[in-house]
Structure formats: structure tokens, C-alpha cells
């Protein structure tokens, strides 16, 4: 688990909190203004001296006099978070955020409090707001926000999206991860398709999840042999795990090994609701020039879920390869309308427009692609 | 699930307000402008000022309550909606929002009271409010042990919304008969709740029995010794027309949960329908009635078994008791019509047949959880 104190200290350091005197009402008595000034000074002194209980009491006193005291709301919320008083912390920080809705650090602390309170819908929304509003460009805060967002994506069954986030976290400097927690179990849960948080995984499944995570990271990091070996070993012990068949099948299909087809078919038989194995088969058949087989499988995937953008992209690629440029354009346009940020869609669409002689539209899409590429993708170090 | 609140009735309510002095008029207009410009902190300040000048400006209370709600400031929102309730026109919609705030504040008894009032008033406020409030209501029903009622609601929501992890989680809690809201159940129960809920959800959404079975088989292999798992398995088997499988699962459930009335009733009904193991079915139905005297489902189960045993007069007595307890369950009327025919009471049979058909017509979309489902037990851990 992320240390609350570390997060708290970082949040403080990134905030650059200036001495913050609330605007006094014209009618406010001079004695009250003095009193507030004294309280706020004493509160900050207590905080600086790490006398948290005194600081909390003083911040509360100050907030009674000035409920919109920005600094007071922030410090009180952060201290409460640091003392595991998540419900109270969240209330103070929500008040702070009602006045400062663009503060990413605040949203991060609220999201983490939500998580601790097991209010996962709020947690996912608030952590997303944290990332959207920016976290000072540092991994120290972005990391935990990504990490818990990834866990929540897994719990809601968005395994691929979660895996992408976890991989970003794994890819730190000097071989270190960007968060101070093991990532193998969370990644393994995605590989296995288990909609659970790491702390919800029954003890007997933890070794399986961990090993599946190790193998998945090996795959992501370009060590397919190691990954394949681990998945094969795990399948001897857990022959009915759909996720293991899919992962092994994926690796085999990358090598264009026909054994991959068999693994994917096992995955489909074990989880007929999952479009991923069908899509992998479609990609494999397309890459090996078996366009009719590819079309059958991608259509099956789309029958399971017609909103899957990558399925439309694959279908477009297949149709393109079969010479049906108009059909391909229709698929790529569907994918684009879905609002995907996947550059591959724009690239394929531009190529298809060019092939169809629609140069102006191709140029427009290429321009869009360049603009997308110009956007910063990850936080600064 | 993100519960975005539509600000309702605002136009009508603002029009209804009649500011009497210039200061109030100016400030209230500024508040409105700030809200429209999404300057929410300023809007809150201005509404508060205007409301100090005129505390009976109920539209203002409603507006500021809505802003607080959207900012997740539920305690403040509840207070504002409480003020708004002083206007009779806002009473029922405010009940919904007060209930939603109280749910967020984990004041579940108060949430139950307000959402119950809102439902009794005909669920005013439009579909977006109904959607959120009914979902919370369904969650509170589970916490209250009213699993069957909750599942009926969740079933409809699943049909409307498609696969959704929040609905699946609630369904899992209901099927496993765990008296919790999703925020409070023990993390170590997650796998069981997830598997049960996903199995139930696939069944509800598209009647995907094969998808449901994947999760159910895993649930059974992992938690087959836990209460209610075989009961759910039996329910899905029954939906798959596998009566023998369903009877077998209910028998397993009764070994694990010998006092489970739901399992006794389900077992008795299935045996009666199949004309199998009628002695055991008779014993199970009698035992259910002994444990839960005066319950519709137990009288119905016994009546149904007696029909299978061709004990017409005795079955009529039990079915009539079931009908008195719950007049709107179509299956009871259907069985009564059959029995009356056997007893030569043609007019009574025609009346029951008509009642059966009317009730069937009144239910346009048959849900997975039918009104006489035996799930409506209150067993399970208490909070």
C-alpha cells in the first residue's frame, strides 16, 4: 500500500501553499480578525512542529470562524488523511475542492480516501479527475493515482486498460517501478480476468496471480520465451484457467505458431463471452493471409460487443487487405467516431482515404494525427 | 457508476419565486448566472446570501442543494433539500435527493425512509433520478434482507443497462443473501459475490445461460460448501430447463442449509413440476410451512405438491391460503384453476383462469426473478 505520509508530504510540496488569509467581511469585528490570525498562525506552527493533534484542533477552530479558509481546509484534510481518518479527510478536502476544483493533488487525496472507504465508484471518478487536472508533472503523485485507477479498472473488468496503466508504472528508471508496491499480482489479475482488488484475492489464488503477472510483464518487456515458459508451467497446474490459455495463445500466435490457434480455441470454450481470443485469432489469420477466416472471427467478436474499437480496426484491416477499401474506410470511421485516442485508427484511416483517392480527407486525418502526436503523453520525471 | 444529477424543476421553481426587494432579486439573479457559468463556489455564496434575505425562497434551496450534491458535499446538500421540502411541490423530489445524500453519508435508515417516501409518491423527478434512486433502493433492500424485491428491481435495471459491474455486485450480494451494501461487505467475500453476481447478470441481461454457467461452475467449485450457492445453481439449471439438475442442486443446498426455506420451497416446486420424489417434496413443503407459518411461498409449495399428488381438496385449501396472502401471483391462480376443474367447480376455475391471464398480461417483460421465487428469504449474516 502507498504510504500515506509520503503522499501527504509530496502533496504539500507540490502545492506551494502561500500564506492564505481569507477575505474578511467588512462587518467582521477586529477582535475576530485577530483571533483568526492568531489561530491560523498557531495552526501552522503546530503543523510545522508535527504536533498533528494540536494542528487539527486549531485548523478546525479557524474553519469555524472562516469556513472557506482554503489553507485550513487543505491542511486539515491532509492531516486527517495521514491519520487514516478518511471519511473526515474527504469531507474537508471536498470542501477545499469546491473552492479549488482544478487542484489535482486534492482530487488524488479524495480519490485515495474513497478507495480506503471502499467507495470505488467515487474513487475511480476522483482519481480520474486528479489525473485530468494534473498532478504537478511528478510521478510521486501520478504513480499512486495510476496505480489505484488500475486496480479499480480491474475490479470493473477493464483488464486491458488496467494492464496498460500498470505497465506504465513498471517502466521506471533504473529498473525500478514508479510506485513502491509490487505490481505482479495486479497485473496477474488482469491476465487471468479476475475482477478483484489485490486485497480481495483469496490466499490460495495469490501465487497464481503473482506468477501470471510475472509472465505478463515478461511479455510486455520483450521476453516472450520466459513468459511462454511460465504460462506453460501454470497451465499444467491450472488447466481450466481461461486467461492462461489466452496469454499462451497470444504468445504463440505472435510466432505464427498454429498451436496458438488451439490455445485460443480453448480460451473461447472456457469463456464464450470474451471477445479478446476471437480478435487475436482474427489478427493472426489476417497477418497470415487467411482473410476469410479472419473475417469470421472478427465478426464473432463484434457480435459479442459491437463497441470494441480494436475489433473495428481489425475488420477494417481485413477488408483493406481483401481490396474492399470502402468497407475498410467505414470500419475505421466507426472506430474514429468512438472517440478513441489510438493513433493506429487515424493512421489506417488516412491510408485508406489515400488508397480510395480521397486525398483531402487523408491530409486532414494526417494533420490530426500529427497534432495528437504533439501532445505530451506521460508526466515528467 | 457516476450519478450525475439533473437539476429538475428549476425553470418552474424559479418562475414560481417572486422576489420582493431589489437586493434579493439582484443577488438571486447573480446566483443563477454564476451557476449557469459553472462558477459554483461563487454561486453557492450568492445563493446563501439570497437565502439569508429570504429563507422561504424554496427554489433557491433546491438550486443550492443541487450544486452541493454535484460537488459531493452531501451533508450540506441534505440540509438544503430539507429546507426545500417546506414547499409542498418539492417534497417528494426532495425525498429522493435526501435519500441519496443519506446513502452517501451512510445514514442508511434515514436513506431508507426518504427513498421509501419518494417511491410511495410515485417516483417523481424523471428517469435520471429514478434510475439512481431505485438503484440505491435496491441496495438498501439487500441490506434489509429483502433479497427477492431487490433482485426484481435489479433484474429490470440490468435489462435496461446491459452488463454493469455495480449491478452485478448488488446481484451477487442478493443471491448470496448477504445483508450488506456494496461498500461494507467483507473484502474476502468479493470473489464469491463477483462470481455469483456475474452469473446472475448474464442470466438477466440476455438469458445467456452458457455464459452464466461459466461463472456458476467456478462459483460452485470454489464455494460449493457455502449457503445459497447451490440454490442459485438450481435456479439457473431450472432456467436452462434442466429440472433434474436443479432438483439435485436444491438437494445439495438443503444438506448445507437444512433450514433454508428458499431451498425447501424451490425443491418442493421442482419435484412437483417434474412429478418426482413427491414424498421428499411433501416433507420439504410441510417443513417450510412449519418453519414459516403463514407465508405465501410455503402454502403455495405445499399446494403445488398436493396437486402433483392428486390430493385436490387439500391442495385447494393450501392454494387458497397462498392466494389470500398474495393475490397477485399468477402461478397461484393457474394452479387453483386446475384444482377447481378437478373438483368440478367450473365457475371458480374460470374466475381463476381469468385472473391468471390478466396478471400475465400485466407483466410485459418476464423477468428472471419471478414473484413466487423462493429467494425471498431473510437468511444471512446481519450487519
pLDDT one-digit tens code per residue, B44-66? 999 999 999 999 999 999 999 99
Per-residue pLDDT at B376 exceeds 70: no
The mean predicted confidence, pLDDT, of chain A is 88
Give the residue from chain B lying closest to A199, CA to CA: B187
C-alpha cell at A137: 508533472
Distance CA B34, CA A68 (A): 18
Identify the band that residue A341 occupies on the pLDDT scale cut at 50, 70 and 90.
Answer: low
pLDDT at B378: 37
Q: Is residue A362 part of a domain?
A: yes
Per-residue pLDDT at B21 exceeds 70: no
Write out the H or E segment, with its range, that includes residue B292: none
In this structure, is the dihedral angle defined by the CA atoms of residues A119, A121, A127 and A133, taken in order, positive or negative? negative
Identify the band that residue B263 occupies on the pLDDT scale cut at 50, 70 and 90.
Answer: very high
Distance CA A208, CA A236 (A): 12
Distance CA A43, CA A58 (A): 5
Q: Find the DSSP H helices in B85-225.
A: 91-104, 108-120, 127-143, 147-161, 165-175, 190-206, 209-223
CB A271 within 8 A of CB A242: yes
Q: HSE of B191 in the Cβ direction (CA atoms, 13 Å)?
A: 21
CB A338 within 8 A of CB A308: no
Distance CA B341, CA B347 (A): 9
Q: HSE of B56 in the Cβ direction (CA atoms, 13 Å)?
A: 6
Distance CA A70, CA A16 (A): 13
CB B329 within 8 A of CB B319: no
pLDDT at B218: 96
Radius of gyration for the alpha carbons in chain B, expressed in angstroms and rounded: 25
Q: Is residue A212 part of a domain?
A: no
Distance CA B352, CA A151 (A): 55
Distances (CA, A) of A361 to A327, A347, A367: 16, 12, 10
The larger pLDDT score, comparing residue B297 to residue B161, is at B297
State the smallest CA–CA distance between residue B378 and chain A in angstroms.
25
CB interface of B with A, residues 112-171, below 8 Å: 165-166
CB B144 within 8 A of CB B112: yes
Q: Is residue A371 part of a domain?
A: yes
pLDDT at B94: 95
Please give the model's pTM, rounded to 2 decimal places.
Answer: 0.86
Lowest mean pLDDT among A129-138, A158-167, A221-230, B92-101: A129-138
Which residues from chain B sit within 8 angstroms of residue A201, using beta carbons?
191
pLDDT one-digit tens code per residue, B124-138? 988 889 999 999 999
Residues in chain B: 383
The mean predicted confidence, pLDDT, of chain B is 89
pLDDT at A211: 98
pLDDT one-digit tens code per residue, A255-266? 989 899 999 999
Domain boundaries, chain B: 1-124
Distance CA A317, CA A119 (A): 41
| Best CA proximity match to A12, nearest among A50, A39, A62 | A50
Tell if the CB–CB gap between A200 and B1 is shorter than 8 Å: no
Distance CA A320, CA A328 (A): 5
Q: HSE of B346 in the Cβ direction (CA atoms, 13 Å)?
A: 0
- From the number of C-beta atoms within 10 Å of its C-beta (0-12, 13-18, 19+), residue A238 rates as middle
- CATH number at A330 reads 1.25.40.10
Distance CA A7, CA A127 (A): 14
pLDDT one-digit tens code per residue, A124-175? 999 999 989 988 777 778 899 999 999 999 999 999 999 999 999 987 666 6
| Best CA proximity match to B54, nearest among B34, B35, B88, B26 | B26
| Best CA proximity match to A83, nearest among A57, A45, A56 | A56
Tell if the CB–CB gap between B165 and A195 is shorter than 8 Å: yes
Distance CA A361, CA A67 (A): 55
pLDDT at A106: 93
CB B330 within 8 A of CB B338: no
pLDDT at B190: 98
Q: Is residue A74 part of a domain?
A: no
Identify the band that residue A10 occupies on the pLDDT scale cut at 50, 70 and 90.
Answer: very low
Q: Considering the domain B1-124 in this protein, what is its CATH number?
A: 1.25.40.10
CB B297 within 8 A of CB B274: no
Which residues from chain A sit within 8 angstroms of residue B75, using beta carbons?
91
Supply the DSSP symbol for A199.
G
CB B140 within 8 A of CB B108: yes
| Best CA proximity match to A139, nearest among A1, A15, A4, A14 | A14
Q: Which range among A55-69, A164-178, A365-379, B360-374 has the greatest average pLDDT?
A: A55-69
- Using alpha carbons only, what angle is made at residue A14 by residues A11 and A19, rounded to the nearest 5 degrees? 95
Could you give the maximum distance between any two Cα atoms of chain B, in Å?
Answer: 83
Tell if the CB–CB gap between A118 and B44 is shorter than 8 Å: no
Lowest mean pLDDT among A21-30, A128-137, A284-293: A21-30
State the smallest CA–CA distance between residue A242 and chain B in angstroms.
10
Distances (CA, A) of A93 to A9, A97, A357: 16, 6, 56
Distance CA B2, CA B73 (A): 15
Q: Find the DSSP H helices in chain B.
A: 10-16, 22-36, 40-53, 58-70, 74-84, 91-104, 108-120, 127-143, 147-161, 165-175, 190-206, 209-223, 229-239, 243-256, 261-274, 278-291, 296-308, 312-325, 330-342, 346-362
Which residues from chain A sit within 8 angstroms of residue B183, using beta carbons?
117-119
Interface with chain A: mutation pick from B4, B190, B211, highest number of A CBs within 10 Å: B190
Contacts of A358 (CB under 8 A, 6+ apart): none
Domain count, chain A: 1
Mean pLDDT in residue range A276-296: 96
Per-residue pLDDT at B239 exceeds 80: yes
Per-residue pLDDT at B5 exceeds 70: no
Lowest mean pLDDT among A39-43, B203-207, B341-345, B369-373: B369-373
Per-residue pLDDT at A2 exceeds 50: no
Considering CB atoms only, which of B183, B194, B208 is closest to A117?
A: B183
C-alpha cell at A51: 504536533
Residues in chain A whose beta carbon is closer than 8 A to a beta carbon of chain B? Answer: 68, 91, 94-95, 97-99, 101, 117-119, 121-122, 125, 155-157, 194-197, 199-202, 205, 270-273
Mean pLDDT in residue range A73-87: 95
Q: Which range among A26-35, B6-15, B305-314 has the greatest average pLDDT?
A: B305-314
For chain A, report the end-to-end CA distance as a whole number of angstroms.
Answer: 22
The larger pLDDT score, comparing residue A15 to residue B342, is at B342
| Best CA proximity match to B62, nearest among B35, B30, B39, B22 | B35
Tell if the CB–CB gap between A98 and B1 is shorter than 8 Å: no
Distance CA A277, CA A264 (A): 5
Percentage, residues of chain A above pLDDT 90: 74
Mean pLDDT in residue range A266-271: 96
Q: Is residue A307 part of a domain?
A: yes
pLDDT at A59: 96
Mean pLDDT in residue range B360-375: 56
CB B74 within 8 A of CB B68: yes
Distance CA B138, CA B174 (A): 9
CB B349 within 8 A of CB B340: yes
State the smallest CA–CA distance between residue A319 and chain B in angstroms.
30
Q: Is residue A158 part of a domain?
A: no
Q: Is residue A224 part of a domain?
A: no
Domain containing A369 equals 301-376
Q: Is residue A256 part of a domain?
A: no
pLDDT at A371: 80
- From the number of C-beta atoms within 10 Å of its C-beta (0-12, 13-18, 19+), residue A326 rates as exposed
The larger pLDDT score, comparing residue B374 to residue A242, is at A242
| Best CA proximity match to A296, nearest among A281, A306, A274, A310 | A281
CB A286 within 8 A of CB A311: no
Distances (CA, A) of B243 to B221, B248, B249, B250, B274: 21, 8, 10, 10, 7
Counting one residue from chain A and one from chain B, the pairs whose CB atoms sit within 8 A come to 56
Amino acid at each position: 500500500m502507498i504510504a500515506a505520509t509520503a503522499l501527504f508530504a509530496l502533496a504539500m510540496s507540490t502545492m506551494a501553499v502561500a500564506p492564505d488569509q481569507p477575505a474578511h467581511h467588512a462587518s467582521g469585528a477586529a477582535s475576530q480578525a485577530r483571533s483568526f490570525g492568531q489561530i491560523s498562525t498557531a495552526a501552522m506552527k503546530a503543523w510545522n512542529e508535527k504536533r498533528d493533534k494540536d494542528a487539527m484542533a486549531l485548523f478546525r477552530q479557524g474553519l469555524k470562524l472562516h469556513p472557506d479558509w482554503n489553507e485550513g481546509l487543505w491542511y486539515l484534510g491532509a492531516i486527517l488523511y495521514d491519520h487514516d481518518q478518511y471519511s473526515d479527510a474527504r469531507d474537508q478536502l471536498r470542501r477545499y475542492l469546491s473552492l479549488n476544483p482544478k487542484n489535482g493533488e486534492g482530487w488524488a487525496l479524495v480519490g485515495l480516501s474513497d478507495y480506503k472507504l471502499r467507495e470505488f465508484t467515487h474513487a475511480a471518478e476522483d482519481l480520474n479527475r486528479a489525473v485530468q487536472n494534473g498532478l504537478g508533472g511528478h510521478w510521486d503523485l501520478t504513480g499512486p493515482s495510476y496505480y489505484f485507477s488500475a486496480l479499480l479498472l480491474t475490479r470493473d473488468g477493464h483488464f486491458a486498460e488496467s494492464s496498460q496503466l500498470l505497465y506504465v508504472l513498471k517502466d521506471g528508471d533504473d529498473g525500478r517501478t514508479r510506485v513502491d508496491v509490487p505490481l505482479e499480482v495486479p497485473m496477474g489479475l488482469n491476465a487471468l480476468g479476475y475482477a478483484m482488488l489485490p486485497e480481495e484475492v483469496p490466499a490460495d489464488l495469490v501465487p497464481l496471480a503473482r506468477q501470471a503477472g510475472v509472465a505478463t510483464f515478461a511479455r510486455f518487456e520483450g521476453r516472450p520465451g520466459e513468459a511462454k515458459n511460465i504460462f506453460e508451467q501454470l497451465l499444467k497446474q491450472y488447466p481450466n484457467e481461461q486467461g492462461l490459455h489466452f496469454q499462451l495463445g497470444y504468445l504463440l500466435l505472435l510466432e505464427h505458431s498454429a498451436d496458438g490457434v488451439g490455445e485460443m480455441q480453448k480460451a473461447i470454450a472456457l469463456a464464450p463471452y470474451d471477445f479478446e481470443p476471437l480478435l487475436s485469432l482474427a489478427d493472426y489469420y489476417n497477418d497470415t493471409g487467411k482473410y476469410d477466416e479472419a473475417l469470421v472471427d472478427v465478426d464473432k467478436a463484434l457480435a459479442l460487443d459491437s463497441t470494441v474499437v480494436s475489433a473495428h480496426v481489425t475488420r477494417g484491416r481485413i477488408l483493406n487487405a481483401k481490396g474492399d477499401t470502402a468497407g475498410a474506410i467505414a470500419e475505421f470511421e466507426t472506430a474514429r467516431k468512438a472517440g478513441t485516442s489510438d493513433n493506429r485508427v487515424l493512421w489506417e484511416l488516412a491510408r485508406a482515404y489515400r488508397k480510395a483517392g480521397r486525398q483531402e480527407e487523408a491530409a486532414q486525418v494526417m494533420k490530426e494525427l500529427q497534432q495528437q502526436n504533439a501532445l505530451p503523453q506521460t508526466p515528467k520525471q | 457508476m457516476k450519478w450525475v444529477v439533473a437539476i429538475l424543476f428549476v425553470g418552474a421553481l424559479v418562475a414560481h419565486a417572486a422576489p420582493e426587494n431589489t437586493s434579493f432579486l439582484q443577488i438571486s439573479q447573480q446566483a443563477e448566472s454564476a451557476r449557469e457559468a459553472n462558477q459554483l463556489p461563487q454561486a453557492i455564496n450568492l445563493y446563501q446570501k439570497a437565502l439569508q434575505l429570504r429563507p422561504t425562497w424554496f427554489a433557491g434551496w433546491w438550486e443550492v442543494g443541487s450544486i452541493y450534491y454535484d460537488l459531493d458535499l452531501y451533508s450540506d446538500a441534505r440540509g438544503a433539500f430539507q429546507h426545500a421540502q417546506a414547499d409542498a411541490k418539492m417534497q417528494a423530489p426532495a425525498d429522493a435527493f435526501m435519500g441519496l445524500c443519506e446513502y452517501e453519508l451512510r445514514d442508511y435508515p434515514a436513506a431508507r425512509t426518504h427513498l421509501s417516501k419518494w417511491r410511495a409518491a410515485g417516483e417523481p423527478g424523471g428517469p435520471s433520478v429514478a434510475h439512481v434512486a431505485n438503484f440505491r433502493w435496491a441496495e438498501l433492500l439487500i441490506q434489509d434482507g429483502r433479497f427477492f424485491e431487490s433482485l426484481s428491481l435489479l433484474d429490470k435495471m440490468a435489462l435496461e443497462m446491459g452488463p454493469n459491474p455495480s449491478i452485478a455486485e448488488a446481484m451477487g450480494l442478493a443471491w448470496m443473501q448477504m445483508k450488506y451494501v456494496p461498500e461494507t461487505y467483507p473484502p474476502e467475500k468479493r470473489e464469491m459475490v463477483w462470481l455469483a453476481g456475474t452469473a446472475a447478470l448474464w442470466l438477466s441481461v440476455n438469458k445467456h445461460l452458457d455464459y452464466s454457467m461459466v461463472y456458476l461452475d467456478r462459483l460452485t467449485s470454489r464455494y460449493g460448501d457455502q449457503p445459497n450457492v447451490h440454490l442459485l445453481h438450481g435456479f439457473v439449471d431450472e432456467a436452462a430447463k434442466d429440472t433434474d439438475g436443479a432438483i439435485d442442486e436444491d438437494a445439495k443446498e438443503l444438506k448445507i442449509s437444512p433450514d433454508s426455506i428458499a431451498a425447501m420451497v424451490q425443491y418442493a416446486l421442482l419435484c412437483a413440476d417434474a412429478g418426482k420424489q413427491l414424498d421428499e417434496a411433501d416433507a420439504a413443503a410441510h417443513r417450510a410451512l412449519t418453519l414459516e407459518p403463514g407465508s405465501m411461498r410455503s402454502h403455495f409449495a405445499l399446494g403445488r405438491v398436493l396437486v402433483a399428488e392428486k390430493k385436490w381438496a387439500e391442495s385447494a385449501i393450501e392454494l387458497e391460503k397462498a392466494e389470500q396472502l398474495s393475490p397477485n401471483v399468477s402461478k397461484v391462480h393457474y394452479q387453483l384453476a386446475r384444482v377447481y376443474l378437478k373438483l368440478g367447480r367450473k365457475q371458480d376455475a374460470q374466475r381463476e383462469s381469468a385472473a391468471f391471464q390478466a396478471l400475465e398480461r400485466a407483466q410485459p417483460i418476464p423477468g428472471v426473478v419471478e414473484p413466487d421465487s423462493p429467494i425471498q428469504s431473510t437468511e444471512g449474516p446481519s450487519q
